[in-house]
Amino acid sequence: MLRAAATWCSRCSRRRLAVAAWFGAGAALTLGCGSNPDDDASASPTSVLLGTGEAEFEALDGEPTLRLVRGAQGGFHVWASVLAYGFSSPRLDLLLTTSVDDQPDSSLVMHARLTMRDVLDPDGNPAQSFAGFPAQVKNARCAAGRRVGLELQLSEPGGGTSRDVRYCVAELDEALRSADCP
């Protein structure tokens, strides 16, 4: 095969070689400059892990029981924390939805822009973290003992987006529960 290429090249004029080189360089530049970062295999993918914790990230393994905390304005929430991987910006947009199983119209959507801090995860890997987001639960006085879904979407402007979904069982003091629950 090398002999065939050498024979072909010896028959080519310098002009043909120059044109071929020009087209080859142009194709390489076009592919390199016009590539989509989402298609780039070397681009680091983003991921996020939803957890709990008021002051630091705590993993949500399985479906743990989490105490509903009464907020200053009378609502109730669970503490949500996140570990994020592969994002380049320290400012990330949060979209968090909570819903109570078997309670129609219980979805509550929260938006926030978080300022993340650089941390090492429990395995020693670099990550970004935010702890202590109040994930409000709609009609929480009727949520005691029920399964609550927490769906997180974290994204950076013009960049990656990642999602995580976790579940917990809501715990609420007896005195705070409503007697008018379905």
Summary mean pLDDT of the chain: 82
| pLDDT for 34 | 38
| pLDDT for 13 | 40
Distance CA 98, CA 79 (A): 12
Among 45, 47, 29, which Cα is nearest to 37's? 45
Query: Can you tell me the mean pLDDT for 167-180?
Result: 94
Beta bridge partners of 113: 93
Distance CA 32, CA 123 (A): 35
Give me the architecture of the 47-176 domain, per CATH. Sandwich (2.60)
Distance CA 124, CA 166 (A): 23
Contact 81, 130 (CB under 8 A): yes
| pLDDT for 108 | 97
| pLDDT for 104 | 85
**pLDDT grade, residue 43 (50/70/90)?**
low
Report whether pLDDT(145) > 90.
yes
Domain parsing of the chain, residue ranges? 2-35, 47-176
Tokens representing 77 are 């929430």
Report whether pLDDT(53) > 80.
yes
Query: Can you tell me the mean pLDDT for 68-75?
Result: 92
Distance CA 97, CA 108 (A): 5
Contact 89, 159 (CB under 8 A): yes
Answer yes or no: pTM beyond 0.85. no
